[in-house]
Amino acid sequence: MADARDWLAVYLKGLAMGTADAVPGVSGGTIALVVGIYERLIAAVTAIEPGRIARVVAGIRAADGSDARAAFREVDGGFLAVLGAGIGTAVVLVLSLVDTLLATAPVATYGFFFGLIAASAVVLLGAVDLGTSGRKVAAVCGFLAAFLASGYGATALGHALPVVFLSGAIAVSAMVLPGLSGSLLLIVLGQYEFMAGTLSAFLDGLAAAVSGDGLAAAVGTAPPIVAFLAGGVVGLFTIAHAVRRALETARAATLAFLVSLIVGALRAPVLEVSVRLADSGEAWTSAFPRFAVAAIVGAGTVIALDRYAGVLEY
């Protein structure tokens, strides 16, 4: 039986995972590897199935209480709940900060993200084996998928609820995949800044409600958040399972695809900055120094983390 210190440790590990997932570059899955809970996380997620969920829900009836508790233990429910609380806390705090930074210093912020992504790709290239034509094809497909999606997502996808739902499914599924950042995928799909702003507005609405100004502000921003979370639940138990099976059956080709996906995604932060510069009338020549310095800082952060903690590892 875990004591309070054990649960606190799980919560703190969730904080670390959530912080990584909220910032493009290093994924929560790599942090789970570092802190030693990756296998337990995968086992818990893959243990969740409709039958067990039904048994837990049936526990509202006193007669089924013991069976519900057994099903909850079978999916390591306590671990998932505490870890999820830590992840959620970190995501809320980090995205609120990022929303402020994107509003006040978008060029430097996206430059930092560019450096994180670029260094992650460089470090992970060592795990890629392109020794067969199939792996080369997988690498090209991964690069083109991210490169083309970056351009399309930044200009045409919009933020309709179905798009937000799909983005949540894709981004949250990456949480259990070492080396692939969910936030990076949100940037590729053009949803990162939108979700950061929506979450910040939702929290402001909740604060207003607590102070007696009503729930209107919070309710108005809730639909995208609900759609994103619903998509995340679906993605966690569908896309994540599919990619895990792909890693088990064709590991080298899947790694080539995933790492090339990161390389192709380098287009996304550059496009985001270009859009803002076009709106403000500033030229790239004057903005580039800020972008470059921030990129160097971001790259240095990833390289230092990898050197001293080995956070980027498949």
For the chain, give every domain's residue range. Answer: 94-308
Structure tokens at 84: 């999820």
Report DSSP state, residue 175. G
pLDDT over 80 (residue 179): no
The chain-wide mean pLDDT, for the chain, equals 83
- Give yes or no for a contact between 272 and 191, defined as CB atoms under 8 angstroms apart: no
Most confident residue range from 29-43, 149-163, 259-273, 274-288:
274-288
- Give yes or no for a contact between 310 and 126, defined as CB atoms under 8 angstroms apart: no
Report DSSP state, residue 276. H
pTM listed for this prediction? 0.74
Higher pLDDT, 28 or 221: 221
The arithmetic mean of pLDDT across residues 213-234, rounded, is: 85
Structure tokens at 275: 């859009």
* Closest among 12, 11, 41 to 29, alpha carbons compared: 41
The arithmetic mean of pLDDT across residues 184-188, rounded, is: 81
How many angstroms separate the CA atoms of 281 and 67, rounded?
Answer: 64
pLDDT tens for residues 73-119? Answer: 888 889 999 998 998 898 888 888 888 888 899 999 999 989 988 88
Q: Which residues of 268-284 are buried (b: 16+ CB within 10 A; e: fewer)?
A: bbbbbbeebbeeeeeee
